[in-house]
């Protein structure tokens, strides 16, 4: 019944490309041409996910060799570059929630194509209540929903709270980002973790936010923490 309804809905409202306005393809709000233009991350550091040059030797990037983050690994199928950055910005700052469905589906399809599956528990990066009221939704939650449905993971949206409002990370120089989020997360009472969990975020830049959150989750009993994001920014040098 549900599949029949989805087919009926697709026939009534056929997908339209979110980038150029042409007809969507393969059930996505993207045409085939715009989908081909998406910047796939071909080679990333196995520790932090930073894009690596094709000529780089295998293994961790220089930053991870100097200081391993608290999370174990990162899965981000795209680089934070045009036109993915536009899709994220319109979703995150301009209320275009249709892009959440598109980005979430792209994440699911990329993971399946890469033979990846998230852990049994997904924890979206929480927003401070003030920012959540202003935006009306948490972009990380909206991205995590299709991931949880596709892979049967449990979505935990109330396990972690943000203790204070912080300056947006992307507005700060890299050296200040770690201090900006230090001590900003706390577990809610009664929430217990075990086994592997995944932090879900829209875009990963320096990784300071998810590193701080991973430390909180590990102290709460998580055996390991992965980071799942639609896109990864920055570049890294190989060792």
Whether 57 shows a pLDDT value over 60: the answer reads yes
pLDDT, mean of residues 78-107: 93
Domains of the chain with CATH codes: 1-37 (no CATH), 40-232 (3.40.50)
Please check whether residue 75 is in contact with residue 116, taking contact to mean a CB–CB distance below 8 angstroms: yes
| Cα–Cα distances in angstroms (integers) from residue 39 to residues 166, 231, 237, in the given order | 30, 9, 19
Contact residues for 179 (Cβ-Cβ < 8 A; gap 6+): none
Please state the pTM of the whole predicted model.
0.88
Q: What is the pLDDT of residue 167?
A: 61
pLDDT, mean of residues 213-232: 96
Q: What is the pLDDT of residue 175?
A: 66
β-sheet bridge partners, residue 123: 199
121: pLDDT confidence band, cut at 50, 70 and 90?
A: very high
Q: What is the pLDDT of residue 194?
A: 87
Q: What is the pLDDT of residue 2?
A: 44
Segment 154-179, tens digit of pLDDT: 999 999 999 887 766 565 666 667 67
Both tokens assigned to 53: 């040059």
> What secondary structure does DSSP assign to 45-71, as a single string?
-TTT--B--TTPPSS-BHHHHH---SS
Segment 189-215, tens digit of pLDDT: 878 898 999 999 999 988 999 999 999
More confident residue, 2 or 229: 229
218: pLDDT confidence band, cut at 50, 70 and 90?
A: very high
Least confident interval from 35-44, 83-92, 183-192? 183-192
pLDDT, mean of residues 29-36: 96
Whether 70 shows a pLDDT value over 90: the answer reads yes
Whether 3 shows a pLDDT value over 60: the answer reads no
Residue 234 zone, left/alpha/beta (φ > 0; ψ -120 to 50; rest): left
């Amino acid at each position: 019944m549900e599949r029949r309804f989805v087919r009926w809905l697709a026939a009534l409202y056929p997908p339209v490309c979110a980038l150029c306005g042409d007809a969507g393809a393969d059930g996505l709000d993207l045409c085939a041409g715009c989908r081909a233009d998406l910047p796939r991350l071909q080679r990333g550091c196995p520790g932090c996910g930073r894009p690596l040059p094709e000529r780089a030797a295998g293994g961790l990037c220089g930053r991870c060799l100097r200081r391993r983050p608290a999370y174990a690994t990162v899965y981000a199928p795209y680089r934070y570059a045009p036109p993915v950055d536009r899709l994220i910005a319109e979703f995150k700052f301009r209320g275009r929630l249709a892009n959440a469905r598109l980005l979430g589906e792209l994440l699911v399809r990329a993971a399946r194509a890469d033979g990846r599956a998230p852990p049994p528990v997904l924890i979206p990066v929480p927003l401070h209540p003030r920012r959540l009221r202003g935006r009306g939704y948490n972009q990380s939650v909206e991205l995590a929903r299709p991931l949880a449905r596709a892979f049967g993971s449990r979505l935990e949206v109330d396990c972690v709270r943000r203790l204070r409002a912080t300056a947006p990370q992307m507005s700060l120089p890299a050296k200040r980002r770690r201090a900006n989020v230090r001590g900003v997360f706390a577990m809610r009472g009664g929430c217990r973790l075990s086994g592997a969990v995944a932090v879900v975020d829209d875009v990963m830049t320096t990784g300071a936010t998810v590193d701080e959150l991973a430390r909180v989750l590990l102290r709460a009993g998580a055996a390991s923490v992965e980071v799942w994001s639609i896109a990864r920014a920055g570049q890294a040098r190989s060792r």
